[in-house]
Structure 1
Amino acid sequence: MPGGKTPLALLLLLLAALFVACGGPPAEEPVPDERRVPRTYPPEPGEVHFGELTMLTDGGENAEAYFSFDGRKLVFQSTRPPFSCDQIFTIDVAGGEPRLISSGKGRTTCAYFLPGDERILYSSTHAAGDECPPVPDMSQGYVWPIYSSYDIYVRAADGSGEPQPLAPSPGYDAEATISPKGDRIVFTSTRDGDLDIYSMALDGTDVRRLTNEPGYDGGPFFSPDGSKIVYRAYHPSDPEELADYKRLLAQGLVRPTRLEIFVMDADGSNKRQVTHLGAASFAPFFHPSGEKIIFSSNYGDPKGREFNLFMINVDGTGLEQITFSDGFDGFPMFSPDGEWFVFCSNRHNAKRGETNIFVTRWREGGA
């Protein structure tokens, strides 16, 4: 994606993680990058919460970068040579060569470190075949694919051994993250016929359904104390919209153009809507205080092309714009100690379609 304005379809294509690996080097070998990073940049005017920005990747499409429990590494998905679609990599926060973790087969997404940082979970379609699942037909408007071949796997953080399935079931299983307490996993699944959020123990047992309202509930993350879950949702209330949602879901598709941010208790109780922006708001994550939520949205752009980061109080008050860069800023996350912040952006990219990982020291209160 260029540094300037990017077509909405291309931005949403990034969000859908529509890229798949088609073979590559063994997991034990790091993937070389001829354009060495990290490089540093100042924040854009108005980005008062950011210190100096460090770009950790340079080239390809890099997204969903999440800290290890010790805060020293990031795990992320990337489309980069020799792969034509997303695979899972790790990288040191201080910089260095990305290391391939996934098998290089099928499409992968949504990786997260397990407690102790010796294992990583992620979703993959590789059991259904080495090749990429097909890109959806956009003749029905912009849609995301909900691949029924996605299952959750666990693999050693150095890429050794075979990926082991975790709580497999028919249908889509992805978008998994882990409580900072290290006791539960939350994920999105169609195992009961709709896109809903579930929790389970770290070994894949004790699966519990947390949402049940018709529509898409997904992208869950725990609060710092593990007591709450923040997520994105689309709950169509109009009968025609609901019928359209169900029709697309039966085809393994969902239309993501309107998403709001919700919060619930970790057991699925006390659900409440946080945002009422009428936009495509996604990738929410709790502020270290547990009292605010940061997320990405195209709110405020009449054409819906620019995605910036926003922060809001859990009670829905105090909306604040955090980033002011043309194009796309998304997938925000705070480090476990709350001192550092990571996000993905197409700022400073060299080629159209590139999105890179940036880390910075977080400045509370804009100090």
Structure 2
Amino acid sequence: MTQLLLLAVTAVGLLAAIPADSLKDPREVHLRNLRQLTTGGKNAEAYFSFAGDMLCFQSSPAGSACDQIFIMDTAGRRLKRISTGHGRTTCAYFLPDGRLLYATTHLADTACPPPPERTAGYVWPIYATYDIVIADTATGAILQRLTMTDGYDAEATVSPRGDRIVFTSARDGDLELYSCNLDGSDLRRLTFTPGYDGGAFFSFDGTEIVYRAHHPTGAELEEYRELLRRQLVRPNHMELFVMNADGTNIRQITRNGAANFAPFFHPDGRRIIFSSNLHDPTRRTFSLYIINKDGTGLKRITYGAAFDGFPMFSPDGKKLLFCSSRGAHRPGEFNIFIADWVDEPDTSPDNPR
């Protein structure tokens, strides 16, 4: 176990955060004291624990074929692999007691599943062998398997109330959102419109859910269904939606025709931070934006990097966690960054920021 941990630390990179304000664009006035928590490989989907002192994330270190799940503290220390090292894993999220949810394919096959076929263009794999498990962060042992149905089960997150899980599943033939108790009981389907509903997060008071969705019609719907039969989706167009935690009162927030994803509520419950390529006519670069949940007040937060995504506010709203390609040493490298969040920045000319 000690050797495995040392290998994991070496592969993911850092043992402590590195100051990274030199990688911050001057226009990023909402960010201060930027620190880089990982270096090398592909590191993404980092999320705070309920106490705000630990982070979970997925990483595909250099030379690794498949993502695995890790935890570390908010200074980039106490790094530990939690997943088994088999199959492909994704979408980790802490439970209130410190246990960890994540999706894994290794229960069906310990081998790494093949990447998507290139003939389909840019697509995401929706592996039917993904199932959601609960793991002990002390030992890495899987304590419970939450899903056992045929088809994709992943993208699970937990209400800050500590009572419900929301996740994406293809169990009924389409990619829809479902919620359940922490032990998997009281399963409820929340969305019913054909298309991909996913990437859901609760508001801090647990009363609402924000998510991304694409609801094609006509020939585009048939293409979506054909790709889904091949366990693929094409994420070129995704808009943001908000609904009540029970699935009622669904409202569309964005209507820009871009790829908007990874939405997360600000602790004030009024604003949503997310990643989008809406600024780029080529649709190849992604930055962070914030918007009111009624669709007004859109504001760009990050600039310069080819990719900024997966933003999450700390429980007290003082920190912003995100994944970025800034400072990467090679194509395809993504690292995890944390910054102090400045809600009302001083933009006067004499402010050094």
Q: Which TM bucket (shorter chain)?
A: over 0.9
- For the residues of structure 2 that align with 1:160 and 1:243, how far apart are their CA atoms? 41
What secondary structure is seen at the aligned counterpart in 1 of 2:9? coil
- For the residues of structure 1 that align with 2:132 and 2:255, how far apart are their CA atoms? 32
Structure having greater relative contact order (Cα 8 Å, sep ≥ 6): 1
CA contact (8 A) 1:295 1:309 kept: yes
Question: How many Å apart are 1:162 and its aligned residue?
Answer: 3.3
Overall identity of the aligned pairs, in %: 55
The aligned residue for residue 189 of structure 1 is 169
What is the 5 A alignment of 1:301-320?
A: 301-320=280-299
Q: Which among 96, 103, 108 is matched to residue 123 of structure 1? A: 103
CA contact (8 A) 1:167 1:205 kept: no
What secondary structure is seen at the aligned counterpart in 2 of 1:159? coil
Q: Residue by residue, what CA displacement relative to the aligned partner does 1:23-43 show, whole Å, maximum 9, x if unpaired? A: x98877672326654211222
With normalisation by structure 2, the TM-score equals 0.93
**Matched letter for residue 358 of structure 1:** F
The aligned residue for residue 153 of structure 2 is 173
The aligned residue for residue 364 of structure 1 is 343
**Matched letter for residue 8 of structure 2:** V
- For the residues of structure 1 that align with 2:36 and 2:171, how far apart are their CA atoms? 38
CA contact (8 A) 1:197 1:218 kept: yes
How many residues matched? 342
Question: How many Å apart are 1:161 and its aligned residue?
Answer: 2.5
Question: How many Å apart are 1:325 and its aligned residue?
Answer: 2.0
- For the residues of structure 2 that align with 1:78 and 1:322, how far apart are their CA atoms? 25
What secondary structure is seen at the aligned counterpart in 2 of 1:302? coil
The aligned residue for residue 98 of structure 1 is 79
Q: Which among 210, 213, 227 is matched to residue 248 of structure 1? A: 227
**Matched letter for residue 335 of structure 2:** N
Q: Which among 138, 152, 165 is matched to residue 132 of structure 2? A: 152
Q: Judging changes above 3 Å, is the alpha-carbon distance between structure 1 residues 366 and 90 closer, same or farther for their aligned structure 2 residues? A: same
The answer to whether structure 1 residue 65 and structure 2 residue 42 are counterparts is no
More displaced 10-residue stretch of structure 1: 299-308 or 30-39? 30-39
**Matched letter for residue 29 of structure 2:** V
Q: Residue by residue, what CA displacement relative to the aligned partner does 1:233-272 show, whole Å, maximum 9, x if unpaired? A: 00013x1101111111111111110000000000000001
The aligned residue for residue 287 of structure 1 is 266
- For the residues of structure 1 that align with 2:168 and 2:40, how far apart are their CA atoms? 29
CA contact (8 A) 2:196 2:215 kept: yes
The aligned residue for residue 9 of structure 1 is none
Q: Which among 34, 51, 63 is matched to residue 32 of structure 2? A: 51
CA contact (8 A) 2:328 2:334 kept: yes
CA contact (8 A) 1:28 1:159 kept: no
Question: How many Å apart are 1:81 and its aligned residue?
Answer: 4.7
Q: Judging changes above 3 Å, is the alpha-carbon distance between structure 1 residues 35 and 95 closer, same or farther for their aligned structure 2 residues? A: closer
What is the 5 A alignment of 1:1-367?
A: 31-33=8-10, 36-42=15-21, 43-81=24-62, 83-117=64-98, 119-237=99-217, 239-367=218-346
CA contact (8 A) 2:135 2:142 kept: yes
CA contact (8 A) 2:18 2:37 kept: yes
**Matched letter for residue 195 of structure 2:** G
With normalisation by structure 1, the TM-score equals 0.90
The aligned residue for residue 349 of structure 2 is none
CA contact (8 A) 1:27 1:103 kept: no
**Matched letter for residue 226 of structure 1:** G
CA contact (8 A) 1:263 1:274 kept: yes
**Matched letter for residue 334 of structure 2:** T
Q: Tell me, which stretches of 5 or more residues in structure 2 are unaligned?
A: 347-353
Q: Tell me, which stretches of 5 or more residues in structure 1 are unaligned?
A: 1-23
CA contact (8 A) 2:259 2:277 kept: yes
Question: How many Å apart are 1:169 and its aligned residue?
Answer: 1.1
What secondary structure is seen at the aligned counterpart in 2 of 1:128? coil
CA contact (8 A) 1:30 1:98 kept: no
Question: How many Å apart are 1:65 and its aligned residue?
Answer: 0.2
